[in-house]
Structure 1
Amino acid sequence: MGMTEITIIELPPERLDLLQPLWERLKEHHLARAPYPWEDMRGKSWEDRKRELVRPNKQLKILAVQSGAGLAGYCIATITDQAWGEIDSLYVAAELRGRAVGRQLMEAALGWLDAAGISAVTISVACGNEAALPFYEKFGFRPRSYSLQRVSR
């Protein structure tokens, strides 16, 4: 059986809801690997996540992976009004991993940030997802600090 052709496409913000099923899979991925109960993530809805992403002070770049008849991955990058960039979310479906799809998404997102003159770019990696760190290091990301959050008792 041949490999399914993939294409990276850009989605306008009004089509962000197309990513909901993929975001739900990413959420489950993080919850399954979290070393501590992550109740705030467990209770987070797609509408909550959209409110974090779509704000008047943010420029939004939405890249999606078209594979066959559907979407199989995405990368969302933002620029704040303070000229900070962030890779907000990246997900590639398991069946496409190992085919450089994540690399293509990152290169496109970082290209957009570079073209906008953004030099300060951050990414947050969830605890339990440390296996992703070498991937991000290939793009020049390095740990700068640890952010700890007190969880309710």
Structure 2
Amino acid sequence: MKDMSEFRFISGGIELLDLVRPLWQMLNEYHKEKSKDFEEQYISFTFEERKKKLMASELMHIDIVADSSNKYIAYCISTIDSELIGEIDSLFIKGEARKLGLGNELLKRSLSWLDSNKVKRKVITVAAGNEDVIDFYNRYGFKKRRIVLEYVRE
């Protein structure tokens, strides 16, 4: 694990949303590759659609990580809705920056923000094909609550 002082963390709200676009597009591509049953949905899914949904939230917190050359390599977006449900909406770390502790740091920051806003519940949705992240989230107290199946026309 690297020393977190090697990275610059930029924290804020909705004003940072457009900065994550390139990383979000990488995440969408990653999901497209991992989730073969829903590949078409990821192909047609745009950042503008995602942004619209996120902007409907009551509160939003964004952390972006920059490396030593000031390139954005990771981000996490968390939101709180009108019923005080907090959600880790989107977390992504570029491949070369994984296994350095950035996911842990981003999740801790998001959970702290959710706690400071006194949410009633905290949720994370994991895309099909990306189940290998479940153990990571389990370490922070997130457990499987339900599994939703969606019909796919073949």
* Structure 1 residue 118: Cα displacement: 1.3
Distance 1:21 1:149, change over 3 A: same
- Amino acid of the residue matched to residue 10 of structure 2? I
* Structure 1 residue 89: Cα displacement: 0.2
Q: TM-score, normalised by structure 2?
A: 0.90
| Native 8 Å contact 2:16 2:62 kept in 1 | no
| Native 8 Å contact 1:8 1:105 kept in 2 | no
- Amino acid of the residue matched to residue 84 of structure 2? A
1: CA distance between counterparts of 2:38 and 2:101?
32
| Farther-moved stretch of structure 1 (74-83 vs 4-13) | 4-13
After superposition, where does 1:1-150 map in structure 2 within 5 Å?
A: 5-55=6-56, 57-67=57-67, 68-150=69-151
* Structure 1 residue 150: Cα displacement: 2.4
What do residues 59-115 of structure 1 show as CA deviations (whole Å, max 9, x unaligned)? 100111011222110000000010101000000111111111000000000000011
2: CA distance between counterparts of 1:41 and 1:28?
7
Consecutive unaligned residues of structure 1, counting only runs of 5 or more, are none
State the SS of the aligned residue for 1:37.
helix
Consecutive unaligned residues of structure 2, counting only runs of 5 or more, are none
What do residues 17-69 of structure 1 show as CA deviations (whole Å, max 9, x unaligned)? 111110111011111111413322220111111001011x4210011101122
1: CA distance between counterparts of 2:120 and 2:103?
21
State the SS of the aligned residue for 1:72.
strand
- Indicate the percent of aligned positions where both proteins have the same amino acid: 34
* Structure 1 residue 152: Cα displacement: 4.6
